[in-house]
Amino acid sequence: MATGVIFLGPPGSGKGTQAEILAKLLDIPHISTGEILRSAIANSTPLGQKAKGYMDQGELVPNELILDMVRERLHDQDIQKGWILDGFPRSVSQATFLDELLGEINYAALCVIDLEVPHDVLIDRLLKRGRQDDTEETIRRRLEVYHEQTEPVTDYYRRKGNLHIVDGNRGPEEVTQSLKELVQI
């Protein structure tokens, strides 16, 4: 059975790292909206050219264009065995879009994983990354925005019954082991 996995979790929770590890273990693509954008632009797809136009002007790529790119990506052949979406959906409207899209491509299996990590640990992890724009103030704001936008997505999947909370405040190997048990590797 094909496995569709969505990773939710705030910046610094380890979702990108864990999504990558799990994708390798399952031999399925790890898909992030950033990867979709970069790939579409690099391949000069019509959607990629549109996105590049916005990015070249320093503007955010509109939500509708991101949704179209996700639709295009989930129609690719390499997702037959499954996929891991990292950082998407970020809003309830994106989650309902994704549900409709999965219905279109006859994809039923879906596991939503939320990596939970205490705020102080996230701040510490993000500060240790050493990125120039990562001040404690900007990190706190990013976490605030994440929670405002993504809490409703978490609730959406909780109501649907396919949300799995995983403690991300452990060593990476322990988190990976919990994820392997969850997706039954």
pLDDT tens digits, one per residue of 110-133: 899 999 999 999 999 999 988 887
Instruction: Answer whether residue 43 is part of any domain.
Output: no
Tokens of 124: 């510490």
pTM exceeds cut of 0.85: yes
Asked whether the predicted pLDDT for residue 2 surpasses 70, the reply is: no
pLDDT at 38: 87
Q: How far is the C-alpha of 102 from the C-alpha of 108, rounded, in Å?
A: 7
Q: How many CA atoms does the CB half-sphere of 175 hold within 13 Å?
A: 24
pLDDT at 59: 82
Instruction: Answer whether residue 50 is part of any domain.
Output: no
Number of domains in the chain: 1
Instruction: Answer whether residue 12 is part of any domain.
Output: yes
pLDDT at 108: 66
Instruction: Answer whether residue 47 is part of any domain.
Output: no
Contact by Cβ (8 Å): 163, 155 = no
Q: What is the CATH number of the domain that holds 165?
A: 3.40.50.300
What is the extent of the structural domain holding 164? 3-31+82-182
CA dihedral over 14, 160, 32, 106, signed as positive or negative? positive
Q: How far is the C-alpha of 42 from the C-alpha of 37, rounded, in Å?
A: 8
Instruction: Answer whether residue 44 is part of any domain.
Output: no
pLDDT at 109: 63
Instruction: Answer whether residue 137 is part of any domain.
Output: yes
Q: What is the mean pLDDT of the chain?
A: 90
Instruction: Answer whether residue 15 is part of any domain.
Output: yes
Instruction: Answer whether residue 49 is part of any domain.
Output: no
